[in-house]
Structure 1
Amino acid sequence: MTKGKDLPSYIHRRKRDGVLLFRKRYAGKIVEVRLETQFAEGEPVPFALHQERERLLNAPTPVRGGGDVAAVIRAYRAASKYRDLKRRTRDDYERHLPYFEQKLGHLAPRQIERHHVIAWRDAWAKQTSPHFANYRLRVMSIVMEHAKDMGLLRKSEENPAKGIKSLKYEKQDREPWPEAKIAAFRSAYAYGTRERTLFELLLGTGQRIGDVLRMQWGHITDDTILLRQGKTGTRLEIPVTQHLATALAATERRSLFILTKDMSKAKRPGQWEYRGAADAMRAARVAIGAEAYDLHGLRYTAASELLLAGCDDELIASVTGQSAAMVRHYTRHIRQRVRARQAQEKRT
């Protein structure tokens, strides 16, 4: 084992094979961890090595390679149980897995106890919403169950996230976007911006954000967008609206995908990821005072606009790809308002 003049403290290079190790005394014992960042002797020290060293120094106790939560998540993503999930479900899980990698990745699964998870669940609810916290809890339970399958939890140790009750809360029904908020968004974000293109795709097609983010230029034929819904597998051909046609014409083609990453930050063009798109649209909603109306609410808006235009449930479903029951669910508030007005008019 050699320290090497070029290596930072606590980092050593093993003589027999040149492997870099983090080495430090904990509670009277020397703990060695094989570093994920490896480079040949004589090469400049990469910045990633300093980052990994800091993470290990600040961790409760370094975990041997392959035994931390980050390794569990990597193994889970490679497992058939993850690959066989529907694309929509994987997208939903990926809203949370990077968080676990960043915040908990350096911990061993057995370091996480039930009281930790309960405290985290409550903190997530305060930072976001009880619904979001409950879903994150569910994903964490799946990750910890995989850790158990990998043998990283002893037989006597239970999944610390399993069996924890979800938070109860009063569910708020989504509302379609009011015309004033739609107009405000269009006024604030010009054609050609990613926010405007995403907005018009969501409203014009009535699809979920995951399906919209996967749309490619090759899916457009003449004035029609071809798609297959990730959640249901339903195949749809949707003619574009005038607003959407104008938005697409103003959108620069940077990759196969219609909506691409921010090229000032990304090395290569590619699909705009859910997290980045959601963050950008959240900021846009705040800017125009539309915090109460989320992106999925635009799917409600599309169905409601079709209803008000005189479409029956079958016609609405031909655009949204929903069942008749879901069409009625998405348009129930508009139906009530329209029928109540009709009813009251009959009284006069």
Structure 2
Amino acid sequence: RPGDWVGFRWGDYNGESLTLRQNKTDKSLVLPCTPQLKAALDRAKGALGAVPIAGRPILMKRDGNPVSYRYMAQIMLKERRRLGLEAYDLHALRYRGVQELALHGCTDDEIAAYSGHATKAMIEKYAGEARQIMRARQAAEKRR
């Protein structure tokens, strides 16, 4: 969830994954980092010039204050405008993430472990379109 991004502290990053407790559900998650995220975090950590304090937020403003949700939303809106994607809100990123996991064949349990969704109904809602596309492609292959 975008609301959780601003809560990440350097102590939540172990060099391979991020640990968090979701704000909305209070659910604990350990999320393996993609190679791109790991590289970005390692660069940011190196740029600090010292071992970061575990409680220091990862996302900081230029003035040294932590990034708030509102500030993050403004940054993301600016970037969506730059890319011509204003119609897609921050929640759409999570939706698309679930779809990507479904497109790669993840089970509902695997998606829940990564997305933090509490109910199968929400996973089915988000992953449904992706799974329909996959099944249609599989059916088309069988027709050949």
Tell me the TM-score range normalised by the shorter chain: 0.7 to 0.9
The separation in 2 between residues aligned to 1:249 and 1:228, in whole angstroms, is 22
1:331 aligns with 2:127: yes
Give the counterpart of 2:60 among 256, 260, 265: 260
1:301 aligns with 2:96: yes
Deviates more, 1:210-219 or 1:302-311: 302-311
1:217 aligns with 2:10: yes
Return the structure number with greater relative CO, CA threshold 8 A, min gap 6.
Answer: 2
| Unaligned 5+ runs, structure 2 | none
Is 1:219–1:227's contact at 8 Å kept on the other side of the alignment?
A: yes
Q: What percentage of aligned pairs have identical amino acids?
A: 41
Structure number with larger C-alpha Rg? 1
Q: Which residue of 2 aligns with 1:287?
A: 82
SS of residue matched to 2:90: coil
- State the TM-score, normalized to the length of structure 2: 0.84
Q: Which residue of 2 aligns with 1:80?
A: none
Q: Which residue of 2 aligns with 1:12?
A: none
Greater share of residues in helix: 2
Is 1:261–1:273's contact at 8 Å kept on the other side of the alignment?
A: no
The separation in 2 between residues aligned to 1:320 and 1:342, in whole angstroms, is 26
| Unaligned 5+ runs, structure 1 | 1-207, 264-268
SS of residue matched to 1:221: coil
- State the TM-score, normalized to the length of structure 1: 0.37
Where in structure 2 are the equivalents of 1:1-348 lying within 5 Å? 208-251=1-44, 252-253=47-48, 256-263=56-63, 269-322=64-117, 323-348=119-144
State the superposition RMSD in angstroms. 1.9
